[in-house]
Amino acid sequence: MAYDYQAVHVLDGTIGAVPGQRANHLAVHRATAIAVVLAAPGHGAEAAGILVADGAFEARFCGPGEWLVLSEVHAPETLVAELAIRLGAFAFVVDQSHGRVALTLSGPDAARILANGIAVDLHPEAFAVGRAATMLCNHLSVNLARTGIDRFDLVVMRSFAEALVADLKVMARSHDLSVDFATR
């Protein structure tokens, strides 16, 4: 018997792709490695310092002493191992590559589309490029990161990914939006 397990993406068969590269685009990432870093109690500052100083990874704020680290180049176990080496006793690193789904919404109407479900002021002066936080999008909690003036990443619990994509399509109903898996 051959045991070569193939992983499926939670949105395989349910993404409801809207083809093309329209003015606004929602890309679902297939194989982003995602880790959660939890600072060891009393070592929040050290953990944050290491994450900031190390340019190799982009850490996104979730809450005090808690960050999401995303990587498009590492395998999940490599990402966890690399982070664990760098952070040592200052943090616990948990693989969440299968627990979360990363999406990128880009386009001139991106902030306006998000305002149909998100209460946070996304004006570039209020939520600048590089900022990230966890917030409510309609009924779902998502981690939102601004990666460009017209570009946002959303990270959501895997079991809610289908609902989030369905919501984003409705939020973008008045705007031109294409939806598909990201091509690497």
Which positions lie near other proteins, rule CB under 8 A?
1-10, 13, 36, 38-42, 44, 62-66, 76, 92, 94-100, 115-121, 123, 126, 133-136, 138-141, 157-160, 162-164, 166-167, 170-171, 173-174
| 103 in Cβ contact with 178 (< 8 Å) | no
3-state secondary structure of 8: coil
Nearer to other proteins by Cβ, of 3 and 55: the residue is 3
Give least dist CB 157 to other proteins, A.
Answer: 5
Nearer to other proteins by Cβ, of 72 and 121: the residue is 121
Give all strands (DSSP E) within the chain, no chain letters: 24-28, 33-39, 58-63, 66-71, 91-95, 100-106, 132-137, 140-148, 151-157, 177-181
The tokens of 126 are what? 């209020």
Amino acid present at 177: L
Give least dist CB 38 to other proteins, A.
Answer: 4
Nearer to other proteins by Cβ, of 41 and 55: the residue is 41
Give least dist CB 73 to other proteins, A.
Answer: 19
